[in-house]
Chain A
Amino acid sequence: MPAIVSLRDVVKTYTRGKQKVEVLHHLSLEIPQGDFVALMGPSGSGKTTLLNLIGGLDRPTQGEVTVAGERLDRLGSGQLAKWRARHVGFVFQFYNLMPMLSAERNVELPLLLTHLNKAQRRQNVAAALAVVGLSDRAKHKPAELSGGQAQRVAIARALVADPTLLVCDEPTGDLDRATADDILHLLQALNRTHGKTIVMVTHDQKAADFASHVLHLDKGQLVEGQTAAA
């Protein structure tokens, strides 16, 4: 499989006031298409920073980031936004649903950036909600959903525009064990049966066990030699 994500010699430095903090140190990484990668590491090691670079939410201070054939380090923020709309689905720890919108309206959001008409959008929304098993909650507002259901809606939203890549930052961080396992089974199924490439940050070894590969990040560098059994 060709690499869908490729980072070469990536440095990320944050400037806080006059102080510069290098968070990622000359990091290189390849993720093949169709992989399910778990990214682990201690708090503050730079996991979210790395994930943001892969998802095109941020640009590296130095180095090359190529995702889905595009050199993200060369794109402006407007171009990045367009690229994200086409290629990435995001899943966050706290779901990040729009509280005013029903589940189906939330799921529809990414489709508003496409050329699909209303009927096509409705059809895709229904399909995405069916994949996550929430067809019967389409009209519910986020406040009327459990944490696990809300995260399913978020996953449906991440999927609905058929992105190249799913990027998940601690998707089960706010859920109990059983609910977390349900979500992880769902992600695994998306990877296995729908062939979605998934990059998932997690603190939880049990969650990482669902992935095909595990990358360990420590103090801004990848630690080699640890691969989970697929």
Chain B
Amino acid sequence: MLRQILAVSSMSLRSIPQRLGTSLVIVVGIGGVVAVLVALLSMSKGFEYTLKGTGSDARALLLSAGVTAELSSYIGPDSVPLLRELPGVRRGADGKPLASAEIVVITELRRHGGDVNVALRGVEPAGIAMRPEVRIVEGRLFRPGLQEVIAGRSARQQFSGLQLGARLQFRGSQWTVVGIFDSGGDAHESELWTDADTARSAFGRPGASGVLAELAPPDPATALQTLKNAVTADPRFQVDVQTERHYFTAQSQGFTEQITLLTAVVTAIMAFGAVFGALNTMYSAVSARQSEIATLRAIGFSGLPVMVSVLAESIALALAGGAAGGALAYLLFDGMSVSTLGQNFTQVAFSFAVTPGLLLRGMAWALAIGLIGGFFPALRAVRLPVADALRAG
């Protein structure tokens, strides 16, 4: 039986070039589906990587209770000094707590396409010290008391007008870009940073959006629990405590879910079309080979090898399409940097990530489309009575 299957299948595969035109319908149709699928998924993958790569398990972020984003959080000036002193917060060599009460506001930047929203973060000196991943790659750090900002590397690349020395106009005040920082490609690279006290006075916000605190060694998990207990125990605080990494992971979820839904809908619609294209192609392949198939069956070949040969042909074409689509998505999109409206109406810059897993997923779709597109024509090929098929051929 295997011998029959191999013989008949190799015959049908070798005859593909004779039906190149119709065969290309499958390849192109499925290639398109896979390219779009992989591109969309690589976008959410890239976004996820960027946000999940932001933050650390050894730092805690304290936000006002119930909010999901730093931008909508506000902790009053009375609570901030008390929160810094809580147990579980690591202390520096000078005995002071390693905590940074940070203020985050939305600022508008002009870009060629129109205005974009960029987050401006006011950071305390401890906030810089606590984040060893942050490096100034151009220029220098802002100076307290002066309206100076440093721009994240992604923000610099994505949005125009952030070069060293550029002057920015936010809410009536003038700011100067004095440096560019790198923080390992995470979400902070899409932000502008300045001194926390400068931001507080410039924007009239005496408190903080959130307090970032380094957790006490040796075990940050234990320190986190200690900190949580201390916060819950004190009725003056209306504050939630989570690790910084947890916060950013959660931030990526909403967007990732939206993209996944969009991907599912778009892919399903395109796949539906591709299935019809494949069916059409394979029906015509079967009818082109009708006399060949009938002759084989007259000789005594059974239905199975004939079915397998039709399926083998459609799967081969589908996989070729899948590979082409995956390659196209990879070449066009992998590593491509874009920025998008993140959760909090600020732009987050990230890169498309075409991973092997996504390519495999694309191939799985191609395979499924090829199987469905080949199945019914294969069934027709074996169901047609031999005598009728011989007459028609």
Contacts and interface: CB of A to CB of B under 8 A. Distances in A.
Contacts of A96: 291-292, 295, 390, 393
Interface string A47-63: 01000100101100000
Given A100-B14, A101-B11, A113 B300 contact: yes
Contacts of A82: 300, 302
B387 A84 contact: no
B299 A57 contact: no
A100 B15 contact: yes
A90 B385 contact: no
Interface in A44-96: 48, 52, 55, 57-58, 77-78, 81-86, 90, 92, 96
Contact of B385 (A48, A58, A84, A86): A58
Contacts of A48: 391
Nearest to B297: A81
Interface residues of A, number: 25
B53 interface: no
A42 interface: no
A112 interface: yes
Contact of B11 (A85, A90, A98, A110): A98
B303 A99 contact: no
Given A98-B292, A100-B14, A101-B11, A110 B390 contact: no
Nearest to B13: A100
Of B291, B292, B387, the most chain A CB neighbours within 10 A belong to B387
Nearest to B296: A109
Contact of A57 (B291, B301, B390): B390
Given A58-B385, A113-B4, A84 B300 contact: yes
B7 interface: yes
Nearest to B388: A58
Nearest to A96: B295
Contact of A81 (B11, B300, B390): B300
Interface string B269-284: 0000000000000000
Contacts of B390: 57, 92, 96
Given A48-B391, A98-B292, A113-B4, A84 B298 contact: yes
Contacts of B18: 99
B300 A85 contact: yes
A58 B385 CA distance: 8
A207 B291 CA distance: 26
Contact of B15 (A58, A86, A99, A110): A99
B3 interface: yes
A98 B295 contact: yes
A14 B393 CA distance: 19
A113 to B, nearest CB: 5
A96 B297 CA distance: 12
B386 interface: yes
Contacts of B296: 98, 109
10 contacts: A52-B387, A57-B298, A58-B385, A58-B387, A81-B301, A81-B303, A98-B296, A100-B15, A110-B300, A112-B301
The 10 closest A-B pairs by CB, nearest first: A85-B300, A96-B295, A58-B387, A84-B300, A57-B387, A52-B387, A100-B14, A112-B3, A113-B300, A100-B15
Interface of A: 48, 52, 55, 57-58, 77-78, 81-86, 90, 92, 96, 98-101, 109-110, 112-113, 157
